Amino acid sequence: MYAQVIVDVPTMQTNRPYTYRIPAPMLEILRRGMRVVVPFGKGNRLVQGFVVGIKEDAQQTEQLKEIMQVVEMTPVLNDELLQLASWLAEYNFAFQISVLQTMLPNVMRAKYGKVLRLLAPDQLSDWPQIALLFADRGEIPFDSDNVDSELLPQLLKLQKKHIIEIGYLVKNRAKVKMVNVLKPTKDADFYKNQLERLRPSAVKQSRMLTFLLQAPKKFVPVKDVINRHHLDYAVIKQAENKGWLVQRQMESYRIPKLQTPVQPSQPLPLNDEQKQAYTAIIANIVQPKTQTFLLEGVTGSGKTEVYLQSIAKALAAGKTALMLVPEITLTPQMVRRVKSRFGDDVAVMHSGLSDGERYDEWRRVQRGEVHVVVGARSAIFAPLTNIGLIIIDEEHEASYKQDDNPRYHARDVAQWRVEYYGATLLLGSATPSLESRARAQKGVYQLLSLTKRATQSVLPTTEIVDMRESIKYNNDDVFSPQLLDSMQEKLDQQEQIVLMLNRRGYANFIICRDCGYTPRCVNCDVALTVHKDVGRLICHYCGYNELIPHQCKICGSKRIRQFGTGTQKVVEHLKEVLPQARVLRMDVDTTRKKGAVDKMLTAFGNQEADILLGTQMIAKGLDFPNVTLVGILNADTTLTLPDFRASERTFQLLTQVSGRAGRAQKPGNVILQTFNPEHYAIQLAKNQDYEGFYHQEMALRHAWHYTPYYFTVQIKFAHEQVDQAAKFAFETTNWLKNIVEKDTIMLGPAPSTISRIKNKYYYRVVIKYRFDQHLMQALTELMHKGQQLQRQGVTIMIDREPTNFI
């Protein structure tokens, strides 16, 4: 029998599996989807691989190598996930091995090490230093911790003489946590009897027996017994020796914990709009039929309640459910809401967990011990079977797209999985992506709307403050007088404030302080980027460039300059202007520690602070009834992103963050500070008018040939030398130009937005197409060619439907 194995060799990636002989003892156990260790290449280096097929015969059987080792006794990937991997690799121009590894918890990725093996110990007498190094061991790790570099020449000589050899090692880092457990062995009468016969001085023994007398007849962790009953290991050992109890080792799960216990919650009675949406969704869950819904519901309209009740329905129908939320910041509050409904039946998967916790949550899912998974992007690969419902909350979020290989979008994976299971996909957002909203328009998705807030509250009222005017009369360019006054008022009323500093904006653009003008590309309608070194503004799509201006083209002002400020500075500024306010700062720096987000949000919820100041992180999902003011310090920075989605991103962000205000009884206000008060994204966000925005933005996308009217692919080229990066970019572009369809548009090549990262120069081409099978084939070819080009120092990255143009 032979196994088809996808191997983990980064420098020789291919989507073709290699054939290996299955040794007789392994025949019984080896299955598709298992991890194995196999020798690879001339040096027979050991690498990890995945068995993707098993067959009776193979061609050229003589030269085939044997599988060395099976990593675990059960497959880690089932048929569904193996099929998904091969589809995803092809669709995203990625290699299967990188997809397979992405599907599994990080710790299951093999780590490789080298070992030195002593072949002829008796010949070491002339090499005292080496003899000392081995110190009677036959094999030692070969790394800088163990082996001094001074010894390398000697080691190489010995290797030539075949006295030692260098071997390879595959380390499995996935460790199951074991704990000591104990169980009483005798009946109650026995322990009672023993207790009566104890000397009064035997205090610990008495405690031990009292515990055993009441303990349930099942295994409990020794540690708990010791802590709760003030015992120690010695007493337990004694008791074991006397036969009063037995001890074992048992597998234990590391289950991630929240800061405070989760209180159970009951389903709320749905309002009419919620009920309509819910009824449509569950009709599909009960009858297996693939359907995708877009739930467009204003902020605070109770989308989460619809999600939770739909999940409950899936569970009642004997199916499982998967819910994605964007990145970790949102997770604590959302996890709490899901756990409060489904308790221990929920597994949580996101990057904030430790490796061990992630591995254990994954195993609970894989063993079918939980039926609900909530997590961030990569949780879309959770090994649930019999899926009835997949929910993607805040479906417009860019974090659902992975920026690294494999560059997949969780929405595409979700669509594939619901088709496999005949399940329902529910995409929810107050501000859907244009792609999804357009699909709903065409009837590909079914549109469901929630137009009102779920509680008695109404949407907040928004005031736009023109910062051009404000800084004319007022030295403060962080807080306008309007925002300061409102903050003071809320502080007096003991209500809470959320302040957002829009930091996603890219620092390298220019803005006129007097009229808000930002120079844009004449071909692409994106902001131009400053390149100080050449004194020019450059378009990162098409390469168009012009001199850095000293004067505004529109109003002639000389106050045209680069832009940007940080959260730390704003905190200091707040101390001066509102010294009495208690401020919580939430950004990448303050949330690095595990559990920090949960802790901060809990504190804010308990009103231990008046102001929550943060970056984009705080825009989504927060539901705090006492927040009545949202201040947006710089609404426009996202507008200047060199990205055709800049307006969409800005609209979404402003609408989401505004939606944090006035979610309960007290009405909410939003103050939005901007240099571009007339911009349609800002005007429409003022009224949370998503539909208005959708129509206006669609017209622009149509005019400029962007998504969703055209598909896009971005190809990036990286090299340590700028001329080499450019050369490969131009060669590839010219080659592609002869292949693609007539209506396919190629922009560039041009330097990337950040043209140099880690001493590599980046060039890119953006391709817009409608239907282009030739292009798809060419890109697959390019991906394979990219492997060879690596040897010339070029890295080629192909990104389908890119969301990041930096």
Q: How many CA atoms lie within 13 A of 544 on its CB side?
A: 15
Instruction: Build a one-symbol-per-residue string for 407-446: x at contacts with ligand ATP by CB under 6 A, - elsewhere.
Output: -----------------------x----------------
Residue 297 binds which entry of ligand ATP, Zn ion, none, CB below 5-8 Å type-dependent: ligand ATP
Residue 300 binds which entry of Zn ion, ligand ATP, none, CB below 5-8 Å type-dependent: ligand ATP
621 binds ligand ATP (CB under 6 A): yes
CB of 451 to Zn ion, least distance (A): 39
How many residues touch Zn ion under the rule CB under 5 A: the total is: 15
Out of 70, 151, 270, 789, name the contact with ligand ATP by CB under 6 A.
270
CA gap 673, 650 in Å, rounded: 13
How many residues touch ligand ATP under the rule CB under 6 A: the total is: 20
Q: At residue 628, what are phi and psi to the nearest 5 degrees?
A: -120, -5
Cα dist from 731 to 63, 180, 763, whole Å = 39, 63, 12
Out of 98, 301, 462, 518, name the contact with ligand ATP by CB under 6 A.
301
CB of 632 to ligand ATP, least distance (A): 16
CB closer to ligand ATP, 236 vs 427: 427
Write a three-state SS string for 122-140: HHCCCCHHHHHHHCCCCEE
| 226-257 exposure pattern, b = at least 16 Cβ within 10 A, e = fewer | eeebebeeebbeebeeeebbeeeeeeebbebe
CA gap 774, 781 in Å, rounded: 11
Collapse the DSSP code of 50 into the 3-class scheme (helix H, G, I; strand E, B; otherwise coil) and give the result: strand
C-beta separation of 277 from 295 below 8 A: yes
CB closer to ligand ATP, 256 vs 662: 662
CB of 804 to Zn ion, least distance (A): 17
CB closer to Zn ion, 335 vs 538: 538
Q: Which of 322, 324, 337 is nearest to 258 (CA)?
A: 337
Would the annotation count 521 as a binding residue? Answer: yes
Out of 123, 488, 557, 790, name the contact with Zn ion by CB under 5 A.
557
CB of 651 to ligand ATP, least distance (A): 15
What CA dihedral angle connects 182, 187, 191 and 194, to 10 degrees?
A: -120
Would the annotation count 361 as a binding residue? Answer: no
CA gap 381, 401 in Å, rounded: 14
Out of 49, 105, 302, 519, name the contact with ligand ATP by CB under 6 A.
302
Which uninterrupted H or E stretch holds 181? Answer: strand 177-184
Stretch that binds Zn ion, among 5-13, 204-212, 554-562, 786-794 (CB under 5 A): 554-562
CB closer to ligand ATP, 19 vs 301: 301
Q: Which of 794, 786, 779, 796 is nearest to 744 (CA)?
A: 779
Would the annotation count 43 as a binding residue? Answer: no
530 binds ligand ATP (CB under 6 A): no
Write a three-state SS string for 747-777: EEEEEEEEEEECCEEEEEEEEEECCCHHHHH
Q: At residue 801, what are phi and psi to the nearest 5 degrees?
A: 45, 65
271 binds ligand ATP (CB under 6 A): yes
C-beta separation of 649 from 805 below 8 A: no
CB closer to ligand ATP, 19 vs 656: 656
- Amino acid letter, residue 348: V
454 binds ligand ATP (CB under 6 A): yes
388 binds ligand ATP (CB under 6 A): no
Would the annotation count 512 as a binding residue? Answer: yes
User: In which residue are the tokens 């998974």 written?
Assistant: 373
CA gap 58, 642 in Å, rounded: 53
Residue 696 binds which entry of Zn ion, ligand ATP, none, CB below 5-8 Å type-dependent: none
Stretch that binds ligand ATP, among 211-219, 264-272, 364-372, 727-735 (CB under 6 A): 264-272
Binding-site entries for Zn(2+): 512, 515, 521, 524, 539, 542, 552, 555
Which stretches of the chain bind ligand ATP, using CB under 6 A? 268-271, 274, 297, 299-305, 430, 454-455, 621, 623, 659, 663
Which stretches of the chain bind Zn ion, using CB under 5 A? 512, 514-515, 517, 521, 523-524, 539, 541-542, 544, 552, 554-555, 557
Binding-site entries: 512, 515, 521, 524, 539, 542, 552, 555
